[in-house]
Amino acid sequence: MINLRKIFEALVFASWQHRLQRRKGNDNIPYINHPIRVASLLTTCNDRQDENLLIAAILHDVLEDTDTSATQLEAMFGKEVTLLVEEVSDDMSLPETVRKQKQIEKAPLLSSQAKQIKIADKICNIQDIVSLSIDWPAERKLEYLAWAKKVVDGCRGVNAALEALFDETFRMAAEKLKKDEIH
């Protein structure tokens, strides 16, 4: 049974930590919408709900994008959640190109829970790239798609429904972006 109190504690904490952040683009969307969507995808694409998976999905960006520490996270949400969040977090001291390569290399080594968070995260990011007004040329968006696919390919074998949703999202995004590139 899912402890809704813990889920809402994670939502409140994440919303406070991300309170001043906005998603990329001109729409000024509050950042917290992103982790909520990631967790929502995981509830949709799983028959058995996993409390720690959902909490980690809600918190998946707090270590890399806020001043939250792993010690603080562990005190509030426990070791298992903290380990999951650490597993999906990038080392922000590294250059972006190195971080992206490390995600590709690390993907096959992730736990099944972390792989699911990664796949859901990439689905949401791709959906945002094609639906929000992000000032990236179509070529850069297509490069993001290709990179995201490499990460997700390393995560496969953990959740057929989530992987099918990624494949469909990828296909639709690639078609749309290729049309945009032509026009």
Nearest to 81 by CA among 15, 17, 14: 14
Q: Which residue has the tokens 């995600």?
A: 103
In the residue annotation, 135 being an active-site residue is answered as no
- 65, 74, 167, 180: the catalytic one is 65
- 9, 50, 51, 64: the catalytic one is 64
In the residue annotation, 64 being an active-site residue is answered as yes
Catalytic residues: 64-65
